[in-house]
A and B are shown apart, each in its own frame.
Chain A
Amino acid sequence: MADTVNQGVVAPAASAPAEFLDRIRRSSEYVVIPLFALIAAGLIFSLFLFALGHSPVTFFSLLWRGGFGTGFSWQNTLVRAAPLIFTGLCVAIPARLGLTIVGGEGALVLGGFTAAVAAIPFVHAGAPNYVVLPAMLLCATLTGAAWIGLVGALRHYRGINETIASLLMSYIAIAIMNFFVEGALRDPGNPNKPSTLPIGDANMIGNIPGVGVHWGLAAGVLVALALWILMNRTTFGFAARVTGGNVRAARAQGLSVGRLMVISCAIAGACAGLAGFFEVAAVQGRANASLAAGYGFTGILVAFLARQNALAIIPVSILLGGIAAAGGLIQRRMGMLDATVLVLQGLMFVVLLVSETLYGRFAFFRPKGN
């Protein structure tokens, strides 16, 4: 850094474009290495398919067609990308403070569940949708924030490992939902699948005009943008990143580490709760076991692939949403199982983490003159 600043002072006009190119070259490391990891994962997966007697070429062309090839598949992809943006943020925000929170699934399920439950009295009283939806939204975000915020508080005040605690709390969240959905809050009119009472067609969130994807996608993009600004352009974000870099240094600077942790976790939980809200209010129309569809777990991969950058989460969510969307087509055309996508995702995750070891190894990405 000091190097570039000095250059700027000596000859600002001449070196500005060169300096800009230099910066691009250095930061391209964070794009090239993950892309390389994705390609490597694709190659390993091709070998895996080949060994099992399937054609990798057919697989990847179907993946393209089912995820991104047609307008319909884009719709399918984007509908899956919306919750992934939120659950990815749920991992990425605490990660900037050095916390590995993997309980987004639980906050999503509980957020969706409380949203559906909050709607019941309003729907019963016949309230209009501009009353019902904000109430649902509020319940979902508050529940999610409290759920993951609790993990942050346990971590800071009791020293409990946040990874284990958040995963355990996911199981508890799913059990809480099942307990009520199969018991006190079960819709008697739906004997096949235990669900809460439907929120009603009048209260469903519609699609973005002309796109065929519900408003959750737009909300996800906006929230990601807002959180990128929060984490990269504000004092709060700076304090959070200092804490992530070195907790002791942050304490020495007088930062209130505990408050930062709890607030970041609460923001993360609110994101996952929002994912649950949109799943209920725009897709399912009621809360049931379909809420635990694994978006929370794919969100972990999204966040790591995006290197915990809130903006990068948007394209990565679309990529992984596309892979998930193509699962059905691959299953029908190649006679392969839906678990194929899980294997591919797991493999991508492992290879991506292995690629972490490559950072700083290539001279090309280093600042010049060092």
Chain B
Amino acid sequence: MNETDIGFWGVPLAMFAGAIRVSTPFLFVSLGECLTEKSGRINLGLEGTLVFGAMSGYAVAYLTGSPWFGVFCAGLSGCFFGAIHGYICKLPKVNDIAIGIAMMLFGTGLAFFFGKPFIQPQAPHLPSISLGGWSSLPQVRSALEINPLFFIGIALAVFMWWAFKNTRWGLIVRMTGDSAPAALAMGYSVDWVRFLATTVGGFFAGVGGAFLSLYYPGAWSEGLSSGQGLMAVALVIFARWNPLACFGAALLFGAAGALGPALQSVGITQGYYFFNAAPYLLTLFIMIASVSPKRSLKGAPGELSITK
């Protein structure tokens, strides 16, 4: 056994590194969903937004050579999908959950359609920040290669948490989500607030998608996202619509998602598919444990169709 071999300590280390890497898209999608749901609407289509954001971010980064511009364009495409969702849901008699499913299929289809030529070429990756220079172990150093988007996500979570409580805009969004009649009485357009919240939420989800294709796993393919956008919706419920709790929940989900690859890295390949299913099982169990039909959830926006 040589000096750099750390044996089974590699598993928690790989899970720590993996949690940070895997959690970033969860974090962005869940913050976007949190904003949308706070305004009283649910967007299940963020899965499609995530996939399309991953494709467009990768394509733009490949064509222009600038990964950060790719991230920005992924956010813009997310805005576009959010705006479509937000606009359609304004129409009377339209069910926001069904529209979400339709947008999920539509976004995925469009991403596969436009993304075919970009499956082979290699786009430039997002740079990462090295925080592990103090350690001599290569495993520790590679675990502490952290993408700036992770820190942007944390800052965004803190900002949203602060803004919901302390700003006029935060109050308007929360009021629209809790009681549309109250918002109307105060002279705010409920449809307009929800439209904006869905559009901005779409931007975050698109950025989350760009992280998938431009950093980790770091290439565009059709199997890139496997329900991350959907799990993020469940994650927001678990986090009780609190952006800071979203961050914690995203880390937990990231760790669950990193379990399979971490075990594989130390040579345990048995049950790879089983460990890959860990995030879905975790989501389901968390929902079972944290939701109850007898009481309404603390912090739930009153207008949200999913909790009614």
Contact = CB atoms under 8 A, between A and B. Distances in A.
A17 interface: no
A284 interface: no
B230 A159 contact: no
A304 B113 CA distance: 24
Contacts of A169: 280, 284
A165 B93 CA distance: 24
Contacts of B271: 179, 183
Nearest to A337: B116
A367 B19 CA distance: 60
A354 B91 contact: yes
B105 A175 contact: no
Interface stretch (A80-88, A270-278, A345-353): A345-353
B103 A175 contact: no
A154 B293 CA distance: 10
B274 to A, nearest CB: 5
B97 A342 contact: no
Nearest to B103: A350
Contacts of A179: 271, 273-274, 277
A156 B288 CA distance: 12
Interface residues of A, number: 45
A171 to B, nearest CB: 5
Given A100-B97, A175-B274, A297 B280 contact: no
B167 interface: no
Interface residues of B, number: 47
A165 B107 CA distance: 21
Contact of B109 (A178, A346, A360): A346
B77 interface: no
Interface in A164-184: 164-165, 167-169, 171-172, 175-176, 178-179, 182-183
Contact of B92 (A154, A161, A339, A357): A357
Interface of A: 100, 102, 154, 156-161, 163-165, 167-169, 171-172, 175-176, 178-179, 182-183, 297, 300-301, 304, 337, 339-340, 342-347, 349-350, 352-354, 356-357, 359-360
27 contacts: A102-B101, A154-B288, A158-B288, A158-B293, A159-B291, A160-B288, A161-B287, A163-B44, A164-B230, A168-B227, A168-B280, A171-B277, A172-B284, A304-B98, A337-B112, A339-B113, A342-B108, A342-B109, A349-B105, A350-B84, A352-B102, A353-B94, A353-B99, A356-B93, A356-B94, A357-B93, A359-B93
The 5 closest A-B pairs by CB, nearest first: A346-B106, A342-B109, A159-B293, A175-B277, A339-B112
